[in-house]
Structure 1
Amino acid sequence: MNEANEAGGATGHDVLVTTPSFGQHASGPWEVFEAAGVRARTASAAHPLTERQLIEEAEGVKALVVGLDPVTAAVLDAAPGLNVVAKHGVGTDNIDLAAAAAHGVRVVNAPGSNTTAVADMTMALLLAAVRRIVPAHASVTGGRWDRFFGPELAGRTLGIVGFGRIGQAVARRARGFDMDLIAYDPHLPAAVFAEQKVPAVTLDELIAAADVITLHLPMPSGGPLLGRAELAAMKPGSCVINTARGGLVDEGALAELLHSGHLAAAGIDVFATEPPTGNPLLTAPNAVLTPHCAAFTQQANAAMGTTVAADVVRVLRGEEPVNAVV
């Protein structure tokens, strides 16, 4: 279903859905619009839309449900009837929140909807990378019987960068593998770390101590969090996992350090430019690469879509959204 009933409810306000993953594996999100009488249509351009494409497609709509599309001040200027922008996910880096506030446009998201999915994928990438699952599979299907050695996770130190919902969910899973845990998050009070019984450290301390670094922060300003110097300061033979934002890591430096052997492995689900055509990680050894799909489970898809759809309906009815960002 890609268009909701046009009658009744919230008086037929139009919603433009730009992300193809909205309601992709669950009818519930579309049914929320249909039950409210809200008309929803999908974008004609491929996701993510450019700023110009979004300006053209958003004309006359009252609500946007977006993925990675850039919701800039120019987009907001071109859509004077817009009431709400819903991020089909959690991170709102691609939405100009200050401009939205200035335009009186509400911004909502779906916090917690993909926590389990991303935490599971983090551990999957870690295991696949350090135990070399992908080349082992290729060996068997290619008619060979090569042997692949890798480290056990027990007793290794996992450094969690970003200790919100997802970081804490990763910590719970890593405990099941008997890993030692440390975490860095400049946005959280000390009480959160104490409650989770995970030592809080500085980023430099984490980089120096961790055998594995996993990233769960939004995109910072001023360049990658793990630049060339930070990656080079990691332990020899350590591993990087990124299921957060591509720009958090200097991808060129990461590829070089994988080639040199200083870093043993990497599991990467997100890239600075997607798809990552020409990215040096494509030819780096011991890198497991996936197409930004950590949140792609049937359960997360249903929860994410229904959560944002319900808040869109609330805003269009003049009600307060449950998950307001702005």
Structure 2
Amino acid sequence: MRVVVTEFMDEAALETFGGDFAVTYDPSLVDDRGKMLAAVSQADAVIVRNRTQVDQEMLNAAQRLQAVGRLGVGLDNIDLAACKARNIAVLPATGANTLSVAEYVIGATMNLVRRSYSSNQEMIKGAWPRSELGRGGEVAGRIMGLVGFGDIARAVATRAQALGMQVIAHDPFLPADHPAWNEVRRMEIDDLIRQSDVLSLHVPLTDTTRGMLDTVAISKMKHGAVLINTARGGIVDEAALAAALKAGNLGGAALDVFETEPLTAEAGLLFDQCPNLVLTPHIAGVTDEGNTRVSFLTVENVRRALKDYQNVQTA
């Protein structure tokens, strides 16, 4: 059985496939569409991250395909309907990077609220910006608002509460009697946006969530509130966010995901001169430990799916 890996992962995990599998590991495939389509033509499974588009074109090229392993949990780069129509198993690494993302959100929260970690170059040149940087805040006592309350958001909530934050959340798909609501206050989205000191997004990109944080929604946020997006680009109107930061209406933002990925120099100009802004290249869920967990789980998911398929074929 043949497996093609189109993006980076922990190579040690690939060894657990065993001798029954022929594995092609080439992270450069994601940037060479033609080469990738040729590589998957004989593949029984592909393993991807978020940049590889598992669309109709790829599926047409991969007629033997039985499984798609996702090194992560977001599935918006995979044509789920087309995969279902062909009985192709789609296998996210559910839970494996939860801790990595939760720690990113908490780290960004403390960074943005404290506003004290961007003075290296000034101080190296002999400046002493004590009065300016000494006006940062503490996270204890502030309100963490979570849009979406799945596993990652719940992990954020636990850590925020340990820091003394109050936590409120909105998730229309989580039943009102779910035990998770026992730990936080459940709110409608408009009330949550208005009350949050830190607003963190944990929803997929859908027709409903696209542009959810637009000019109107951002205008409802508290003066000085901060926004963190580790979910998906396109949920936040980036131009509206940049304008709010430059106008001083928001206290800061951390963006790990963008409408254009990778972020181009042209798209990045939008964020030039935005104060208290942290930009990272879609790595909230990518730590050494998280990558190991995600990689080993994905290999196990794909190995099991292909073995099950093989057993059915030979039964």
When normalised by structure 1's length, the TM-score is 0.87
Counterpart among 125, 135, 150 of residue 108 in structure 2: 125
- Distance in 2, Cα, partners of 1:153 & 1:30: 41
Counting aligned pairs with the same residue, the percent is 37
1:306, CA displacement in angstroms? 0.9
Which residue is equivalent to 1:215?
201
Secondary structure in structure 2 of the residue aligned to 1:314: helix
User: 1:178 maps to which residue?
Assistant: 164
- Residue number in structure 2 paired with 1:59: 41
Counterparts of 2:101 and 2:153 in 1: how far apart (Å)? 9
The question of whether the paired residues in 1 share the 8 Å contact of 2:246 and 2:273 is answered with no
Q: CA deviation at 1:195?
A: 4.7
Q: How many residues align?
A: 302
1:218 to partner: Cα distance: 0.9
Equivalent in the alignment of 2:237: 250
Distance 1:283 1:59 in 2: 46
Q: Find the residue that maps to 1:45 and give its secondary structure.
A: helix
Equivalent in 98, 106, 120 of residue 115 of structure 1: 98
Q: Tell me if 1:31 matches 2:21.
A: no
Residue 55 of structure 1 and its aligned partner are, at CA, apart by 2.5
1:7 counterpart residue number? none
TM-score by length of 2: 0.90
- Tell me the residue number matched to 2:121: 138
Q: Per the alignment, in what secondary structure is the counterpart of residue 139 of structure 1?
A: helix
**Aligned equivalents of 2:68, 2:226: Cα separation in 1:** 37
Taking the TM superposition and a 5 Å limit, the aligned residue runs for 1:3-14 are 13-14=1-2
Instruction: Kindly indicate whether the alpha-carbon contact (under 8 Å) linking 1:89 and 1:110 is maintained by their aligned counterparts in 2.
Output: yes
CA distance in structure 2 between the aligned counterparts of 1:209 and 1:234, rounded to whole angstroms: 7
| C-alpha spacing 1:227/1:82, structure 2 compared with 1 (3 Å) | same
CA offset digits 1:179-199 (Å, max 9, x no partner): 111001121112336554211
Quick one: structure 1 residues 150 and 49, their matched pair in 2 at CA, closer, same or farther if it must change by over 3 Å?
A: farther
Contact 1:36 1:313 (C-alpha < 8 Å) held by counterparts: no
Contact 1:159/1:206 (<8 A) preserved: yes
Question: Contact 1:134/1:288 (CA < 8 Å) preserved in 2?
Answer: no
Change (3 A) 1:142 1:84: farther
Match of 1:274 in 2: 261
- SS across alignment from 1:214: strand
CA distance in 1, matches of 2:73, 2:180: 25
Change in CA separation of 1:302 and 1:182 when aligned onto 2, cut-off 3 Å: same
Displacement of 1:289 after TM fit? 1.1
Residue number in structure 1 paired with 2:313: none
The one-letter code matched in structure 1 to 2:298 is V
Counterpart residue type for residue 110 of structure 1: A
Give the CA deviation at 1:137: 3.2
Q: Please report how far the alpha carbon of residue 281 of structure 1 lies from its aligned counterpart in structure 2 after TM superposition.
A: 2.2
Secondary structure of the 2:304 match is: helix
Contact 2:213–2:236 (CA under 8 A) maintained in structure 1: yes
| AA aligned opposite 1:203 | I
| Residue aligned with 2:263, SS | coil
Q: Distance in 1 between matches of 2:304 and 2:54?
A: 21
CA 1:306 to 1:233, structure 2 compared with 1: closer, same or farther past 3 Å? same
Secondary structure at 1:85 match in 2: strand
Relative to structure 1, the CA distance from residue 84 to residue 142 in structure 2 (aligned partners, 3 Å threshold; closer, same or farther) is farther
Q: Specify the code of the residue in structure 2 equivalent to 1:288.
A: V
Q: CA deviation at 1:284?
A: 1.4
Tell me, in whole angstroms, the C-alpha distance in 2 between the residues paired with 1:126 and 1:137.
20
CA offsets per residue over residues 23-80 of structure 1, 9 Å max, x none? 15xx1x11212x2531111236353565x55423311111100012111122112211
The secondary structure found in structure 1 opposite 2:185 is coil
Other-structure match for 2:228: 241
Residues 1:44 and 1:195: Cα distance change in structure 2 (over 3 Å):
closer
Match of residue 298 from structure 1: 288
Sort the Cα spacing of 1:172 and 1:207 in 2 relative to 1 into closer, same or farther, 3 A: same
Match of 2:251 among 261, 264, 269: 264
**From 270, 292, 315, the counterpart of 2:305:** 315
Aligned residue number for residue 9 of structure 1: none
CA–CA distance in structure 1, aligned partners of residues 38 and 182 of structure 2: 47
2:28 aligns with one of 27, 42, 45: 45
Separation (CA, whole Å) in 1 of partners of 2:35 and 2:169: 40
How much is the aligned-residue C-alpha RMSD, in angstroms? 1.9
Q: Which has the higher helix share?
A: 2
